[in-house]
Structure 1
Amino acid sequence: MSDWLIGLEGTSAGHDLALALALLAALLHAIFGALQKGRHDPWLSRGSIDLCYGLIAAPFALFVVPWPEPHMWPIFAGAWAIHLVYKILQGMTYVRGAYTVVYPVVRGTGPLFAVIGAYFVFGEFFNAIQLTGIAVLLSGIFGLAAYNLRHVTVDRDTLKMALVLAVMTGMFVALYTTYDAYGIRATADPFTFLMWFFFLDGLFSIAPYGIVRWARMADRPDLGPLLQRGLLGAGVAFFSFGSIMMATRLDNVGEAAVLRETSTVFAALIGWLLLGERTGPRRVALMALIAVGAVIVEMGG
């Protein structure tokens, strides 16, 4: 399968597959965010998810995929550090702000910096039509965040700090998207990067903190539902992160990063349908604006 995927790089079929993978990543990333923001403490949810996908990835990393080349170890160290800071910022954001307010800010800030990073690191550029599409998409994302900010009634006392943290989180989204795209292109087999990333990131970042946090709680949540959420989140993470990383290897990093941010549409629907957060015609119109922007980006390419 690795040879087949590598053979698609730079082809029209690879472009089409990258588009599908980026949109799949958008849907799954919104589900992943909702799982972390759900009824459990976000740190416990994230720790459970990381632990599960680290344990699942371990046998594949150690016994199935080719071992990383020597030059990959510093790259893995950088990826581990970037994702650790990202997850800390994300957890702090979710603790302080409503999901449908902070999530669009995170996702809106991310592609803006990812496009800039793709230009400097990979030499990618967008034409005038695609830049217009990015502007439309970002106006919808930030418009949705502004509308939610005006009407949200929960976490008002901590919302300003949550928004600051959301912007910082978005910057790290752009950083890890660009850096991981570099990492997955630096190894001969893309699955080597994916399995070793999940193995190292899953077992040696937030998971140990989540275990200690749970052990010190006076009123500990039941492990059964928490681990169920972890297993579900692990499955989503494999396909979400794997999809966007494969998309960045097959095609332009910046375009994949922009298309993934249609996750804001899915996040708003999840917030409305599953988390009980209110919606309305204005929010629907803003979500449509995000989708239109993504279509313009794709058609202009």
Structure 2
Amino acid sequence: MSPDVFAFVLVAAFLHASWNAMAKSGKGDPLIQAGRIAVGSAVAAVPALLVSGLPDAASSVHLVGSALIHVAYFVLIGLAYRYADYSAIYPLVRGSAPLFTTLLAMLLLGETLKPVTWLGIGILCGGILGLGIDAVRRGGLNVRSLTIAALTAATVVGYTLVDGVGARLSGNSTGYLLAMMALTGAFMIFGMIRFQGAALFSAPASVWGKSVAAGAIANISYGTALWAMTKAPIGLVGAVRETSVLFAALIAAVVLKERFGIARWASALMIVTGLALAKAG
């Protein structure tokens, strides 16, 4: 992975942790907030799509499939933050995904990585999961929230692989991302009208403004990651992107004022070490 791609993926990681914190930190049900952010992503995507242009038709199946997976992702993220702390659930969701994404990319797409990169990914995943295990030890997670975390991680693996291939087929990774998020928002609007109509339309303009801003951040974050997947192995990009957990740790401790002890900082150090080894590979 070249230094410029590496730097952009780190920026994407920070932005991802930021919009997730926005989904957790606002007032009201996190499930509703996650749905609004999905809709906000679509609102931000449509005008940008007029500039970027549509992706190639060869990626259409991947685009629709990814949109459906993303609907499930936003719903599960909302449920996860409804039942657990941000600093507890985020590491588990993001931490279990990179290793499985890398393994599946190797098995299904034929991607290969150097031994030092595998070592880095392993340490990276260990540090990320260490943050989650500490949350379990502190009582911040239960069987329900762990189940939701596992399902959410599965959607992360799913859309990462689908979008990694779709972006390559699209000939226009930016257009692919924007079209996918616009479609995701359309699906989400339909679902929210069906099940949460009052919550969707009763929010004041200020709340929707924040949702559109968070959605735009989500678009930039994931769009940057998709672009990187056209320049470097999907598994490696996915692993480096999960350093968003390190940024999430800082946000949880400084902004959300959640408890953060030595074990969590030690896990954060493992993330940095794993990141360095993955980059060296």
Q: Normalization by structure 1: what TM-score?
A: 0.85
Tell me the equivalent position of 2:175.
Answer: 192
Work out whether 1:140 is the aligned partner of 2:123. Answer: no
What is the alpha-carbon distance in structure 2 between the residues aligned to residue 77 and residue 26 of structure 1? 24
Change (3 A) 1:127 1:273: same
Q: Structure 1 stretch 69-78 or stretch 220-229: which is displaced more? A: 220-229
Shift in Å at residue 32 of structure 1? 1.4
Shift in Å at residue 228 of structure 1? 2.9
DSSP 3-state at the match of 1:170: helix
Q: Structure 1 stretch 144-153 or stretch 231-240: which is displaced more? A: 144-153
For 1:142-161, list aligned pairs within 5 A.
142-152=129-139, 159-161=142-144
Shift in Å at residue 120 of structure 1? 2.3
Q: Structure 1 stretch 227-236 or stretch 289-298: which is displaced more? A: 227-236
Is this contact kept in 2: 1:46–1:206, CA < 8 A? no
Deviation beyond 6 Å, 4+ runs, structure 1: none
Change (3 A) 1:236 1:137: same
Is this contact kept in 2: 1:21–1:246, CA < 8 A? no
Shift in Å at residue 221 of structure 1? 7.0
Work out whether 1:45 is the aligned partner of 2:33. Answer: yes
Is this contact kept in 1: 2:99–2:122, CA < 8 A? no
Shift in Å at residue 30 of structure 1? 0.7
Tell me the equivalent position of 1:226.
Answer: 207
Q: Structure 1 stretch 118-127 or stretch 159-168: which is displaced more? A: 118-127
Is this contact kept in 1: 2:54–2:176, CA < 8 A? no
Tell me the equivalent position of 2:67.
Answer: 80
What is the alpha-carbon distance in structure 2 between the residues aligned to residue 165 and residue 52 of structure 1? 23
Q: Percent identity?
A: 29
What is the alpha-carbon distance in structure 1 between the residues aligned to residue 52 and residue 15 of structure 2? 24
DSSP 3-state at the match of 1:71: helix
Tell me the equivalent position of 2:104.
Answer: 117
DSSP 3-state at the match of 2:57: coil
Shift in Å at residue 54 of structure 1? 1.2
What is the alpha-carbon distance in structure 1 between the residues aligned to residue 197 and residue 147 of structure 2? 30
CA RMSD of aligned residues (A): 2.1
Q: Structure 1 stretch 110-119 or stretch 276-285: which is displaced more? A: 276-285
Q: Normalization by structure 2: what TM-score?
A: 0.91
Change (3 A) 1:276 1:152: farther
Residue type at the aligned position of 1:205: F
Residue type at the aligned position of 2:151: M
Work out whether 1:205 is the aligned partner of 2:187. Answer: yes
Work out whether 1:167 is the aligned partner of 2:167. Answer: no
For 1:1-301, list aligned pairs within 5 A.
15-39=2-26, 40-61=28-49, 63-152=50-139, 159-202=142-185, 204-210=186-192, 215-216=197-198, 222-299=203-280, 301=281
For 1:222-266, what per-residue CA distance to the aligned partner results, in whole angstroms no more than 9, with x for missing partners?
523421320220221121111111111111111111111111111
Is this contact kept in 2: 1:47–1:209, CA < 8 A? no
Is this contact kept in 2: 1:45–1:229, CA < 8 A? no
Residue type at the aligned position of 2:234: V
Residue type at the aligned position of 1:140: G
Shift in Å at residue 85 of structure 1? 1.9
Alignment size in residue pairs: 279
Residue type at the aligned position of 1:118: A
What is the alpha-carbon distance in structure 2 between the residues aligned to residue 275 and residue 119 of structure 1? 38
Q: Structure 1 stretch 180-189 or stretch 36-45: which is displaced more? A: 36-45
Shift in Å at residue 81 of structure 1? 1.6
Provide structure 2 residue ranges, at least 5 long, that are not aligned to the other structure: none
Query: Based on CA coordinates, which of the two structures has the bigger radius of gyration?
Result: 1
What is the alpha-carbon distance in structure 1 between the residues aligned to residue 195 and residue 252 of structure 2? 27
Q: Structure 1 stretch 205-214 or stretch 88-97: which is displaced more? A: 205-214
